[in-house]
Amino acid sequence: MTVDRQNLEIAKIQKEIERYLSLGSTQMIFDYRETGQGVRLDVITVNPRHNQSFLFHYTIGYDRIDALKQMYTYVKEHNEKQNSYTIQWCVKGDNDLHTSYFRAKDIPEALDKLNFGRDPNSLTIFSVVLNPLS
């Protein structure tokens, strides 16, 4: 596959993920990193209210397209099957209380998503609640 075709395929799958999650391109970041196992894709969401970013989910594939296809499968088939958590928090030194929602297998994973890319000591967490099943 040529580089142009590969880039078009990547853009197409990214748009499908954004559309499926009802998020715009300004609310999602697709971050690719080469690892010893292939390519790691971190999908990061940005909350427009408080401009904080959080890990949505990550996958590892043999290349960018494979990692994106795995992410798309996760979004369509697995995301809704995970537990839903509500976390209330604030940035240390700031009095604004924020409420964020995460899908994760357990509380530590939800907290990892909240703390992704930042010093965990920079936030004060007030509560983590497992939401009832709908």
CB crowding 73-92: b at 16 or more within 10 Å, else e? ebbeeeeeebebbebebeee
CATH T-level assignment (fold) for domain 83-134:
Ubiquitin-like (UB roll) (3.10.20)
Cα–Cα distance measured from residue 42 to residue 29, given in angstroms and rounded to the nearest whole number: 8
- pLDDT, tens only, 44-76: 999 888 889 999 999 999 999 999 999 999 999
Q: What is the pLDDT tens value at each position of the chain, 134 positions in all?
A: 687 888 899 999 999 999 988 887 789 999 999 998 899 999 999 988 888 999 999 999 999 999 999 999 999 988 788 999 999 999 998 889 999 999 999 999 999 999 999 998 999 999 999 999 76
CATH 1.10.8 given to domain 1-81: no
pTM: 0.89
Structure tokens at 39: 């390519």
Cα–Cα distance measured from residue 75 to residue 43, given in angstroms and rounded to the nearest whole number: 11
Cα–Cα distance measured from residue 40 to residue 37, given in angstroms and rounded to the nearest whole number: 8
**Structural domain spans, the chain:** 1-81, 83-134
